[in-house]
């Protein structure tokens, strides 16, 4: 979390005094010197509510301090026409259920949300959410107000949160430089540079989906441009290239094409190869730019990448400078479709972990210990 050792020690002591974690001696570590104590979260003492507004569903969950999803509610969401009011209403209903069903001894220490669009840091404003047609919608403030739990909702972009979740608890554990790609209708990116999420001047960095790689002959993109990475490798590119009808969409449709390709169907195989080549071109660019230790594929790219891996690897061998690909690893994400939700939960826990006593004081419940 970018905290230094003395801050961690102080926070751990406070969490331990409050009964939220216990410290125990580790087993034989095989290393010299006095081993650090292992900090384990005490189950059932503190939780957050985590929300996920994805392209095809809304999810809410109660997540404990160890990152375990204890209870979840989920609803499919119409692809278009979901306005702020309807989305917030569904999440509020789920959130209240989760709050009521929390065990008596557990305190809600934070609220975090993931959203499939560009988020203004600080107030959770959705600046641009093309999948739902949102521009400048006060999502975080509105969800916080309706939940009425006396806490703000911290909102992040889904691919940013997926990257952070995979770095803390998934395929990229402990890596200081990684690229996480989240595919759905479009392709979002979360890029960890030197241990920290690349946010840029206004918090709007990592927009890998709109890196143009085919400017003159490319497919039109939802952003108004042409030949964007997400136009060439997003859901519609694969389904169109495979000749699937325009009314098919979503993860099941993607998996059907991939399954057909694996079985040797020529049209599906050709589609996976052609879209896989564009995927490789984009991934190679990102490796040249970021020299990451790992590229992680999430969302529908979890399904596409394994079938297209050889094509992607060929592009990397051709397009990436040798010294930048010496140690590169490519993986599908460990946390599956929960990567973004787990990332939202981490947002909710951030305040507690950086300042335990003040956060617990604000919960109005100092009696946890």
> Is residue 189 within 8 Å of residue 181, measured between CB atoms?
yes
Binding segment for its own copies among 29-37, 80-88, 97-105, 202-210 (CB under 8 A)? 202-210
Asked if 201 touches its own copies (CB under 8 A), the answer is yes
285: contact with its own copies by CB under 8 A: yes
Q: Is 48 helix (H, G, I), strand (E, B) or coil?
A: strand
Element (H, E) at 35: none
26/215 with CB nearer its own copies: 215
Does 323 interact with its own copies (rule: CB under 8 A)? yes
C-beta of 127: minimal distance to its own copies in Å? Answer: 4
Q: Are the CB atoms for 67 and 169 separated by under 8 Å?
A: yes
Q: If we measure between CA atoms, which residue out of 329, 320, 267, 278 comes closest to residue 301?
A: 278
- Report d(CA 348, CA 253) in Å as an integer: 33
CB of 214 to its own copies, least distance (A): 7
Asked if residue 121 binds its own copies (CB under 8 A), the reply is: no
DSSP state of 226: B
Sheet strands (E) in 173-233: 178-183, 187-193, 196-197
Tokens 């939960």 sit on residue: 345
The residue among 66 and 215 lying less far from its own copies, judged by its C-beta, is 215
Among 204, 255, 273, 354, binds its own copies (CB under 8 A): 204
Q: Are 65 and 100 in contact (CB under 8 A)?
A: no
Is 161 among the residues that bind its own copies (CB under 8 A)?
Answer: no
Piece of the chain touching its own copies by CB under 8 A; list 50-58, 161-169, 209-217, 267-275: 209-217
Specify the residue, 38 or 310, whose C-beta has the smaller distance to its own copies. 310
CB 269 within 8 A of CB 261: yes
Q: What are residue 299's DSSP bridge partners?
A: 183
> Taking contact as CB under 8 A, which single stretch among the options 23-31, 77-85, 198-206, 348-356 is the one that binds its own copies?
198-206
Interface with its own copies (CB under 8 A): 118, 127-128, 175-177, 189, 191, 193-194, 196, 198-208, 210-217, 223-225, 228, 281, 284-285, 288-293, 318-324, 326-327
């Amino acid at each position: 979390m970018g905290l230094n050792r003395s801050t961690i020690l102080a926070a751990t002591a406070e969490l331990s005094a409050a009964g939220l974690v216990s410290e125990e001696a580790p087993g034989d570590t095989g290393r010299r010197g006095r081993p650090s104590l292992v900090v384990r979260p005490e189950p059932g003492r503190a939780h957050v509510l985590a929300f996920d507004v994805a392209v095809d569903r809304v999810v809410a969950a109660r997540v404990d301090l160890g990152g375990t999803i204890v209870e979840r509610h989920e609803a499919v969401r119409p692809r278009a026409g979901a306005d702020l009011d309807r989305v917030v209403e569904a999440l509020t209903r789920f959130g209240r259920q989760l709050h009521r069903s929390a065990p008596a001894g557990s305190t809600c220490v934070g609220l975090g949300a993931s959203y499939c669009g560009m988020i203004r840091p600080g107030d959770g404003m959705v600046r641009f959410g093309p999948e739902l047609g949102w521009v400048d919608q006060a999502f975080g403030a509105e969800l916080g107000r309706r939940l009425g739990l006396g806490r703000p909702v911290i909102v992040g972009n889904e691919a940013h949160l997926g990257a952070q979740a995979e770095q803390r608890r998934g395929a990229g554990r402990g890596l200081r430089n990684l690229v996480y790609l989240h595919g759905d209708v479009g392709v979002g990116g979360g890029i960890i540079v030197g241990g920290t999420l690349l946010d840029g001047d206004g918090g709007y960095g990592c927009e890998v989906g709109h890196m143009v790689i085919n400017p003159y002959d490319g497919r039109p993109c939802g952003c108004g441009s042409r030949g964007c990475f997400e136009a060439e490798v997003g859901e519609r590119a694969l389904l169109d290239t495979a000749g699937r009808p325009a009314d098919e969409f979503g993860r099941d449709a993607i998996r059907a094409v991939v399954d057909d390709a694996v079985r040797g169907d020529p049209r599906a195989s050709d589609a996976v190869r052609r879209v896989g080549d564009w995927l490789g071109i984009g991934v190679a660019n990102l490796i040249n730019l970021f020299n990451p230790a790992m590229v992680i594929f999430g969302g529908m790219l979890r399904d596409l990448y394994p079938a297209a891996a050889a094509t992607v690897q060929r592009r990397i061998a051709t397009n990436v400078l040798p010294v930048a690909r010496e140690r590169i690893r490519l993986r599908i994400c460990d946390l599956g479709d929960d990567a973004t939700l787990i990332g939202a939960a981490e947002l909710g826990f951030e305040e507690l972990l950086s300042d335990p006593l003040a956060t617990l004081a604000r919960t109005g419940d100092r009696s946890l210990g």
